Amino acid sequence: MIKFENVSKIYPNGHVGLKNVDLQIEQGEFVAIIGLSGAGKSTLLRCVNKMHDISSGKLTVNGVDVTQLKGKEIRRFRSKIGMIFQSFNLITRTTVLGNVLVSLVPELSWWRRLLGVYPATAKIAGLKALDNVGILDKAYTRVDQLSGGQQQRVALARTLVGDPDIILADEPVAALDPVTAKIVMDDFQRINREMNISILLNIHHVDLAVAYADRIVGIRQGEIVFDGPTSAVTQEIIDEIYQGHGSSSIKGSAEPVAAEVVVDA
Amino acid sequence: MSEMIELKLNEQPSKKRQYLLLGGIILAMLLWSLTAITFSAPDDGGAKIAGNIIKGILSPDMQLLWNFTSQGVFYLLFETICIAFLGTIFGAILSIPFAFLMAPSVVPKPVYLITRFLVVVIRTIPSLVYGLMFVRVSGPGPFAGVLTMSLTSIGMVSKLYVDVIEDIDRGILEAMDAMGCTTFEKIRFGIIPQLIANFSSITIYRFDMNLRDATILGLVGAGGIGSPLIFAMNSYRWHQVGSILIGLVILILIVEAISNKLRAKLVNG
Amino acid sequence: MRKRTLTLPNGKVVTEQRSKVPLICAILLVFIIVAMRVTHFSFRTLATNGHQFFVILGAMFPPHLDFLNRVWQPLFDTIKMSFLGSLLGALVAVPLAVLSATNIVKSKLLSGFFKLLLSIMRTLPTIVMALIATFIFGLGTMAGTLAIFIFTVSYVGKLTYEQIESLDMGTFEALESLGLTRLQAFRYGIVPQILPTYLSTSLFSFEGNLRYAAILGYVGAGGLGIILNEQLGWRDYGNVGMILTVLIVTVGLIELISQTARQKLQ
Ligand SMILES: Nc1ncnc2c1ncn2[C@@H]1O[C@H](COP(=O)(O)OP(=O)(O)O)[C@@H](O)[C@H]1O
Ligand SMILES: [Mg+2]
């Protein structure tokens, strides 16, 4: 369970990233976080695994008070939370399996870490994770020879091999074409349902968010302006999340994605 | 409308003056440097000597070529390979700290500017000056050659390494942070794999060059095939020169072919 | 090599591809040991005697300023040699590069011949060319110029024909189809594409030649190398330091100009 209690985040330059956020996410939920670019979606995700420190309030993840973690504890804490990025962030020039196994590096003995030699059990775990996302046959291919969708699935397998409770995905399909994006979203959904892993996913495409998530969190200028089940999302709510700058005639300045939704809905 | 076309026409930058200026400078430099062409051929005429040289080279000393003792072409070539190989390896290792100290994304500006200056100095001092200095350290012989090549390799290799370092994809470091990896693990699994292929490719390329440059070492007694080659030339034994050159040219061509193949494989996977 | 397989819990079997890195490391290590034996490499000598290097280096500082007067003439000779050799070499490289390019010259035999020619020219050590040239043309800058000329032809020639061969011939054919002659199509379809790289390569080669020209004097082929050899022979390291300082400043300046020019070309 992830629990934000009146959390605020102020960047060193004074910019307010999150303002009085209250949010509770149960184990196994699939939550999509939507909002304009710069609204604070990435900030919210990055607070969960302490990539960012919060400025005030309380944040607990599975009963652990995140603010109290230090040094080694942070690293151990993070290894149970998977993270996926828009730009995949894989090791170029390394095989698919090599990329997946990096996740297990913190658990290896010192000489294995030095030489980069993985035990057979680790390799089997890595291959299993690859099989889970359907790219087992690419295990020994170099990642730079894969398509974007396949690369994102390598990144997904990389988080799975660490056996996480939570996966944080920061715009995982923004760099993919619509068809590939659906395939990757299918993977997220299946993992969420079969393995009961909580998924927090930032996403630009409201139609994808509505199609896959159980719950939608709308965020605007660091504040949560909507939080409810997907079924409760209406056109007015979407307009409110994307256009609520005070006036109602700023459609033109909203991102094209938002405009596209208006048409879709 | 035609007005606009005319305007656009006038907008086209006229490079005539620039080209004229450049041409003028080059012409002036050319005229100035033409004075470098001087003929002070020995009395019996250059042409005759040239004939002798070509004749000698075209009828190589087969005995020297197929000689497998430590005076033969084969052993000397092998020694040259060893000098170039060790010099390249040590040079490549020495280049790594230099390269990181030259990378703007790693160190602050004063540090990389000073290191860059230092490397330009190292690169510009002619190799035979180093050769003579190292002969003082190790005595004449191939050891001095290895030390010289280690030092002369640094200039080019570290410069090329820097480009690879600047090209590192930092996304993986963020991802590894999120996995809970330590700094050591980030370097070992996130950075080194990105560097190793290109570094190896650059090092192989440098080995190729070192093999070519190894002849110069012979001038200062720093080992390799250069000494006997230059000795044979200075004593007008052109048949021996021929056999040594044949061995050297064939060796370099073979090594070049192999190194091109290896490098293509390294870079493209 | 023995192939190993891994069995997944769901029964799928994957053939493991073992990394070749350990094998490569082992071969390298063996060769390093052999090469250290052959070259009598010894870390102990280096540790006990290494300071000698810095003794000489220290003797070069401060450089003897009064020697500067004797440095100018050889310096100019070195610049002249490398400039003339590079300019003429770069010009002669063009026809040879065109004749070596398989997408322009249809006869494989002809292009192969010129490629081999360039290859051998590049492989012959420049210092050997310089020495041979001194036997034929006498001691002096002429020999050095010739050696640099030959190297430049081969270097620029090789890079240029590689560039030509990597070109998309579509433009060339399109121009030919418009009714241009082969020569015209070359002038308007190929030249603009290779010109920037060609000029950049030539400048780069000039920079390198300047460095190399400083060595050539050592075999009597003119330039700074002559006085360098002389002063090293006398062990007058203050004078050597002066020569090196002048060389470093000159090379630095010319590199700066040439690099700016090359960046403009990109
Ligand atoms: N390190 C930082 N320092 C200062 N401001 C930042 C920093 N990172 C993000 N911000 C600002 O915080 C706001 C929210 O950013 P972010 O969470 O990345 O938005 P989103 O992911 O929704 O596009 C933006 O206005 C951004 O400019
Ligand atoms: Mg973001």
The enclosing H or E element of C156 equals: helix C141-165
Ligand 1 in reach of A38 Cβ (< 6 A)? yes
Domain extent for A66: 1-80+165-176+190-255
> How many domains in chain A?
2
Q: Around Cβ A57, how many Cβ atoms within 10 Å?
A: 17
The arithmetic mean of pLDDT across residues C38-47, rounded, is 92
| Location of structure tokens 């070049």 | B256
* Amino acid A245: pLDDT: 55
- Among B125, B146, B150, B205, the strongest candidate for a mutation testing the C interface, having the largest count of C CBs within 10 A, is B125
The arithmetic mean of pLDDT across residues C50-72, rounded, is 91
* Residues of chain A contacting B269 with CB distance shorter than 8 Å: 93, 142, 144-145
Q: How does pLDDT run across B44-56, given as a tens digit for each residue?
A: 667 777 888 888 8
Q: Around Cβ C57, how many Cβ atoms within 10 Å?
A: 13
Alpha helices, DSSP H, located in B102-237:
109-124, 127-138, 142-166, 171-179, 183-185, 192-217, 226-234
Contact A128 C9 (CB under 8 A): yes
Ligand 1 in reach of A56 Cβ (< 6 A)? no
Ordered by start, the domain boundaries in chain C are 4-59, 65-265
Q: How many CB pairs under 8 A join A and C?
A: 21
Q: Which of residues 143-162 of B touch A (CB under 8 A)?
A: none
Mark whether A52 and A25 lie in a shared domain.
yes
Q: Would A112 be classed as within a structural domain?
A: yes
* Amino acid C211: pLDDT: 86
Q: Would A74 be classed as within a structural domain?
A: yes
Q: Average pLDDT, whole number, for chain B?
A: 88
How does residue C196 score in pLDDT terms, banded at 50, 70 and 90? confident
Contacts of residue C212, defined as CB under 8 A and 6 or more positions apart, other chains included, come to C82, C126, C148, C151
* Amino acid B45: pLDDT: 67
Mark whether A170 and A233 lie in a shared domain.
yes
Residue nearest to atom 16 of ligand 1 (CA): A40
Alpha-carbon span B104 to B81, nearest angstrom: 35
Ligand 1 in reach of A53 Cβ (< 6 A)? no
Starting at the earlier edge strand, list the strands of the sheet with A16-25.
A16-25, A2-10, A56-61, A64-65
| Location of structure tokens 């020697």 | C67
* Residues of chain B contacting C35 with CB distance shorter than 8 Å: 81-83, 85-86
* Residues of chain A contacting B179 with CB distance shorter than 8 Å: 78-79, 83, 102-103, 105-106, 162
Q: Would A228 be classed as within a structural domain?
A: yes
Q: Tell me, what amino acid is at B63?
A: Q
Q: Around Cβ C4, how many Cβ atoms within 10 Å?
A: 12
Higher-scoring residue by pLDDT: B187, C2: B187
Closest by CA position to B175, among listed C179, A83, C223, A178? A83
Instruction: Please list the rounded mean pLDDT of every run of 10 residues in chain A (265 residues).
Output: 93 92 93 92 93 92 91 89 92 91 90 89 93 91 91 94 93 91 93 94 90 93 91 87 58 39 37
Alpha-carbon span C266 to C253, nearest angstrom: 20
CATH of domain B67-268: 1.10.3720.10
Check if the beta carbon of residue A87 is closer than 8 Å to that of residue A34.
Answer: no
Mark whether A49 and A169 lie in a shared domain.
yes
Closest by CA position to A46, among listed A11, A91, A93, A72? A11
Q: Would A243 be classed as within a structural domain?
A: yes
Please calculate the CA angle A168-A169-A170 and round it to the nearest 5 degrees. 120
How does residue B41 score in pLDDT terms, banded at 50, 70 and 90? low
Q: Would A55 be classed as within a structural domain?
A: yes
Beta-strand ranges (E) seen in chain C are 4-7, 13-16
* Amino acid A244: pLDDT: 65
- Among A93, A114, A140, the strongest candidate for a mutation testing the C interface, having the largest count of C CBs within 10 A, is A140
Ligand 1 in reach of A41 Cβ (< 6 A)? yes
Mark whether A235 and A219 lie in a shared domain.
yes
CATH of the domain at A66: 3.40.50.300
Q: Average pLDDT, whole number, for chain C?
A: 89
Mark whether A140 and A34 lie in a shared domain.
no
Beta-strand ranges (E) seen in chain A are 2-10, 16-25, 30-34, 56-61, 64-65, 81-84, 166-170, 198-202, 215-220, 223-229
Pick the CATH number of C65-265 from 1.10.3720.10, 3.40.1440.60, 3.60.20.10, 3.20.20.480: 1.10.3720.10
* Amino acid B13: pLDDT: 64
Q: Around Cβ A236, how many Cβ atoms within 10 Å?
A: 8
Alpha-carbon span A255 to A35, nearest angstrom: 10
The CA–CA distances, whole Å, from A108 to A9, A53, C158 equal: 35, 28, 50
Q: Would A262 be classed as within a structural domain?
A: no
Structure-token pair, residue A115: 């030489």
Please give the distance, rounded to the nearest whole angstrom, from the Cα atom of residue A202 to the centre of ligand 1. Answer: 14
Q: How does pLDDT run across C126-184, given as a tens digit for each residue?
A: 888 898 888 888 888 889 999 999 999 999 999 999 999 888 778 888 888 888 888 88
Query: Rounded to two decimals, what is the model's pTM?
Result: 0.85
Check if the beta carbon of residue A125 is closer than 8 Å to that of residue A161.
Answer: yes
